[in-house]
Structure 1
């Protein structure tokens, strides 16, 4: 890690301020412990989670150009802890940066909407980065390992990357089809990675509003596979995946006709436990599936 303090424009997104408030809580607790500065983008808006472009690509681009421009005003990278936000905002950033060369008139058109709202223009001068990449690539696994005060020895963790983080955009941080960054992070904090079939697949959330049974079957298949592989818990970098895998797990159990009971942790919760942050300060009591088996295994 560089000796300079890492600093980001923090884009919390919608879900972490609503149904998954423990994600915002644990992200702030983790970054404080690591000495990472977050400047929250309080004027930012929902990225649209991929739905805006169903009506208009221009709408998705304009909304998220504004979100990026807010980070550019601070001369900071935009940091999100939501894989869906990363995929959507990162893809818009990619598209607009390419358009600056290939179709500058389109960027001017987008910036025209920002100007109408009294916003700074999109310049393409910063990056969009998920918390996972910030931890692995910016902070560094060796430095995180040095910060560990409570090794998560014996805890078997099944990563659930989801879709957007790996394949929503091109990036240099991991292999989109055979990733290792979460497993490497697990090992850095003393946990044991569990490899299973569904870790890079869709959780089913995008289907849940119109094909609920199929969505729950998909989530159930992944949870069953993780359990069969010996996992004590799942860990995900996406709050929408968390909603389908944790919040809806009781409904999933009815569809797959099997009791599951697999705890699903947010990525910053897992890392923060290894840094000695108390479970109460990480919102681990807010989950639908009890996290008590994980905490008991770790001696809490």
Structure 2
């Protein structure tokens, strides 16, 4: 049995609650045990380091140390959390050898707050990597009870999952195939388009909204023109910009859109025969009804 220290992050417990629900449904169906890190803090989504790298490292060293105290890898279902926490983990593992003074400074702050020290013994792993590398696509295929035949899925990797860490042992940073391989495993057709590995525009949204929406709109439109029935993303922040803001995006680019955007565990759960009612598919801004109707739900 696979077992992880589960770091749900903030967005999945708020604006994208359906990600939290579908992750629970998927892991339960696969027999994967999650021990939720209820005392974990927000990773900062890359903003802490704008003020202080030490702050970002200390906060996320604590998050990793919580997983280490359970002797488990830290599992996240958010690309942004994976990118931030994973990069901190890489940086501190290197600092432990090359900059022990900084390493001890971080642990000094944790000790001051009566927290377990960061040791560098756990791995930070996204749900996608857990499915591909740990559970295995062969085993996943055996669990499929409803092949998603005829469904054209366009992956949206975004940036953080692929390029925020120096080392990516599970895929190619610039020509990834992990999501597409998952699509094939559950019987869906992968759709390729240029924007699948680019930024969704979320980081720009607070200060350059129009430019952010233009970027998101270009990806949605390109995927539609390539024949996609839906986008599938491993990142809830990408989901917010591509789904929740899609009506606003459509106005900015002056083009009708309406492309459903699914979270990765929602798509896989459908192939396992899990009811859409348990996956929060009714919570999306862009209706997922066309996807469900095409699959015969």
Q: Give the alignment's TM-score, normalised by structure 1.
A: 0.98
**CA offset at residue 79 of structure 1?**
0.2
- Separation in structure 1 between the aligned mates of residue 259 and residue 207 of structure 2, nearest angstrom: 25
How far 1:240 moved relative to its partner? 0.2
Q: Pairwise CA RMSD of aligned residues? A: 0.3
Q: Where does residue 268 of structure 2 map in the other structure?
A: 271
d(CA) in 2 for partners of 1:101, 1:171: 21
2:47 & 2:96 partners in 1: Cα distance? 24
Deviation at 1:171, TM superposition (A): 1.7
Please say if 1:239 is aligned against 2:225.
Answer: no
- In the TM superposition, 1:180-259 aligns within 5 A as 180-259=177-256
TM-score by length of 2: 0.99
Which blocks of at least 5 consecutive residues in structure 2 are unaligned?
Answer: none
Secondary structure at 1:220 match in 2: helix
Q: After superposition, give the CA deviation of every residue in 1:166-206 in whole Å (9 maximum; x if it has no partner).
A: 00101200000000000000000000000001000000000
Residue 68 in structure 1 maps to residue 69 in structure 2: no
| Superposition map of 1:130-169 within 5 A | 130-169=126-165
Deviation of the 1:116 alpha carbon: 1.1
Separation in structure 1 between the aligned mates of residue 112 and residue 99 of structure 2, nearest angstrom: 21
1:48 aligns with 2:26: no
Equivalent residue for 2:79? 83
Alignment of 1:111-130 (within 5 A): 111-130=107-126
CA shift digits 1:110-149 (9 cap, x unpaired)? 0011011110000000100000000000000010000000
Once residues 49 and 274 of structure 1 are traced to their aligned partners in structure 2, the CA distance between those partners, rounded to angstroms, is 31
**What SS does structure 2 have at the residue aligned with 1:132?**
helix
Aligned to 2:88: 92
Aligned partners of 1:289, 1:248: CA distance in 2, in Å?
9
Q: Distance in 1 between matches of 2:197 and 2:191?
A: 13
Partner secondary structure for residue 32 of structure 1: helix
- Structure 1 position 33 matched with structure 2 position 29: yes
- SS of structure 1 residue aligned to 2:80: helix
> Which 5+ residue runs of structure 1 have no aligned equivalent?
none
